[in-house]
Amino acid sequence: MSLTEKLQSVFVIIAILIGLILGQIKWVEENAVSLIVPSLMTMLYGVFLNIPLNRLGQAFQNYKMTGLILGMNFLWTPVFVWGLGAIFLRDSPDLWVGLIMLMVTPCTDWYLIFTGIAKGNVALATTLLPWNMILQVVLLPLYLLVFVGKMVQKIDTAIFLESIVLVLAVPMLLAFIAKWLIPKVNGFWREIPLKIAAGQTLFLCLAITAVFASQGQTLIQRPDVLLKMLPPILIFYGITFLLTQVIARLGNFSYEDFACFSCTTLARNSPLALAIATSVFPERPLIILVLAIEPLIELPVMVLVSQLLLFLRRKGQYSQMER
């Protein structure tokens, strides 16, 4: 992973600040919204272009771990997060929707960094990447209809499906076509998709800048949003981490597999959720705001988790599991 991708959270914070500053200019505030969807589509094109589809089958060489991780990400997490929202955000449905959209999309990049920092099984984590991406793209519309449809009234199904096709299906199709064409061309045309893929962080930051330029007044008027989101998000991380420890001990995992299990089930994919939210809920800025500020919470948590995993490793609590 490049230095730019490793510093993605820093660039996100800078993008937020730039967006808030530019949002004070009325013309920018009124027109910034037009940049959001194109920027996110370009970013997701780069993400899909980097998906190692040739590793789909490799994940099931360790079928126990793969099944548990996918089960945690796509069965346990949606139900658990819906329950957390019911407890903490019942009076703030937009924040509840943002929480659900955020947590049902597992990470497809940062978790590899933190798995490596924690000296976990990076090879296994890498084979899970295409499954995490493909399943969240397929299941996110279903999660929205099941969990969010009752909270956000009058979701226009036609607009919803159009947004899914525009923001997800189009970039994915173009990326797969590019992957097929790249080996067949040379020179300038070969470099274009590769440059876009390498610059996905830039397009993400451009989208976030546009979000905060167009919706920054909402953040200024609602400084309580971050405070309201902290309890359910931190409880999600805490309970999920403890649950991975219990499962690891019952399953007699090695430390490396345990570290991979924890990082893969904790890190989230806010850019993809942000792309969908911007298209489906353009008139509900609080949903978009939750997804844009989430990296400010996730990064410190994942740094803490990786260090905690190393601490457990040093204490030798998992020595009996080593194979």
pLDDT digits (tens, 9 = 90+) for 114-165: 888 888 988 888 888 888 888 888 888 888 888 876 666 656 666 667 777 7
Burial class (CB within 10 angstroms; exposed 0-12, middle 13-18, buried 19+) of 182: middle
What is the model's pLDDT at position 189?
63
320 located within any domain: no
Q: Say if 262 falls within a structural domain.
A: yes
Domain count, the chain: 1
> What is the band of 56 on the pLDDT scale with cuts at 50, 70, 90?
low
pLDDT of 171: 85
In a domain, residue 69? The reply is: yes
* 227-241: average pLDDT: 94
Please state the φ and ψ torsions of residue 79, each to the nearest 5 degrees. -70, -45
The one-letter amino acid code at 133 reads M
Place of tokens 């940049």: 35
Tell me if 318 is assigned to some domain: no
Does residue 323 sit within a domain? Answer: no
Domain span at residue 156? 3-312
Sign for the pseudo-dihedral over CA of 39, 153, 292, 47:
negative
DSSP 135-147: HHHHHHHHHIIII
Average pLDDT, the chain: 82
- Cβ distance 41 to 272 under 8 Å? no
Lowest mean pLDDT among 39-48, 212-221, 281-290, 314-323: 314-323
**Any idea which of 38-47, 188-197, 201-210 has the lowest mean pLDDT?**
188-197
pTM: 0.78
Query: pLDDT at position 59, please?
Result: 63
Find the mean pLDDT for residues 14-34: 86
For residues 210 and 22, give the distance between their C-alpha atoms in angstroms, rounded to a whole number: 9
Examine residue 147 and state whether it is found in any structural domain, yes or no.
yes
- CATH number for position 75: 1.20.1530.20
For 243, residues 6+ apart whose C-beta sits below 8 A from its C-beta are 72, 76
Q: Is residue 202 included in any domain, yes or no?
A: yes
Q: How distant, in Å, are the alpha carbons of 24, 73, 128, 139, 274 from that of 131?
A: 41, 11, 5, 12, 20
**pLDDT of amino acid 322:** 47
What is the predicted pLDDT for the residue at 323? Answer: 44
Contacts with 170 (C-beta within 8 Å, 6 or more apart), sequence order: 41
In a domain, 92, yes or no: yes
CA nearest to 141, candidates 172, 163, 108, 110: 163
